Amino acid sequence: MPKVVAEVKKSVAAKAGFRPRAQLHDKQSEPDFRELRVDKVGVRGLRFPVQVRDKRHSVQNTVATLGMFVDLPKEFKGTHMSRFIEVLNAHGSIVHVENIPDILFAMQERFQAATSHLEMEFPYFLVKRAPVSGLEGMMDYTARFDAAACGKEIDFVLTVKANVTTLCPCSKAISVRGAHNQRGAVTVQIRFHKPIWIEDLIAMIESSASSELYALLKREDEKAVTERAYDNPVFVEDLVRNVALQLNAHPDVSWYRVEAENQESIHNHNAYACIEKG
């Protein structure tokens, strides 16, 4: 009787157009003979919800663009890209800073890899008050985590990007009616002994410029901001040095790189400076 039932099911499936699943060839697992190890292979440009610590509100929910990578031994032709997404989703619908090591170790185990990498870049928001009117506006910054695992060792780099105003000291010194200024983009990357707030790095950057930027300014605020910048001119070299001095004084910073690029307002090129230490 069971044989008859099986035959009937097979007949019904055939009439419905169903065919037994064929064995799919695993092309990625084929051997490769070029004797070249791939340092990083994986997925990039993946958007995913993340939760990061907020100094004022405990946590902040935002959306990150992720990259996930492992090393590929020379013996294998390729990796299995879908497994990165499987690892990510296995750790819940939101990535927390605290579970980044778990994700890195899970990638190593899933791919039998010696190293794994996770990069996360996301907008970070702060409420800022205009300097005179006190009106509030939401400012966005860019933050980034670059984490890597080699065996059980974890390397973590925090990056914060903020825009500022810089006023040219040379222009002020030689001009009778004002001085040219520009928007400066500052990028700070750090390694640390103990976690450092994103807000604290933003404060270091903004206090090192001619003036910080705001989301909302009324006329009285614009007057205050432009006069502040005029009273505090800085070259791009001054900008990176000012940030570096604050990082040098921080006991928990073990390495840093500070970059500043001014989008020049009277030249057809940008001004750039960088300091790295550690």
pLDDT band with cut points at 50, 70 and 90 for residue 226? very high
- Between residues 104 and 92, which one has the greater pLDDT? 104
In the prediction, which pLDDT does 15 show?
54
Express each pLDDT in 49-79 by its tens digit. 999 999 988 899 999 999 999 999 888 887 8
Q: Give CA torsion, residues 16, 20, 25, 26, to 10 deg.
A: 100
User: Which CATH number fits the domain 37-277, given the four candidates 3.10.270.10, 2.40.50.180, 3.30.465.10, 3.30.160.270?
Assistant: 3.10.270.10
pLDDT band with cut points at 50, 70 and 90 for residue 37? confident
Express each pLDDT in 254-275 by its tens digit. 999 999 999 999 999 999 999 9
CA–chain centroid gap for 122, Å, is 6
Q: How far apart are CA 52 and CA 63, in angstroms?
A: 10
In the prediction, which pLDDT does 79 show?
84
> Does residue 243 surpass a pLDDT of 80?
yes
One DSSP character per residue, the chain reads -HHHHHHHHHHHHHHTT--PPPPPP-GGGSB--S---EEEEEEEEEEEEEEEEETTTEEEEEEEEEEEEEEE-TTBS---THHHHHHHHTT-SSEEGGGHHHHHHHHHHHHT-SEEEEEEEEEEEEEEE-TTT--EEEEEEEEEEEEEEETTEEEEEEEEEEEEEEE-HHHHHH-SS---EEEEEEEEEEEESS---HHHHHHHHHHTSSEE--S---HHHHHHHHHHHHHS---HHHHHHHHHHHHHT-TTEEEEEEEEEEE-SSSSS-EEEEEEE-
Contact 232, 210 (CB under 8 A): yes
Provide the percentage of residues in the chain whose pLDDT is more than 70. Answer: 90
Of the listed ranges 8-17, 48-57, 190-199, 214-223, the least confidently predicted one is 8-17
Q: Return the bridge partners of 76, or none.
A: 31
In the prediction, which pLDDT does 22 show?
65
What is the residue extent of each domain of the chain? 37-277
In the prediction, which pLDDT does 8 show?
46
pLDDT band with cut points at 50, 70 and 90 for residue 194? very high
Instruction: Name the residue type at position 178.
Output: G
Average pLDDT on 157-179 reads 96
pTM: predicted TM-score of the whole model, two decimal places? 0.87
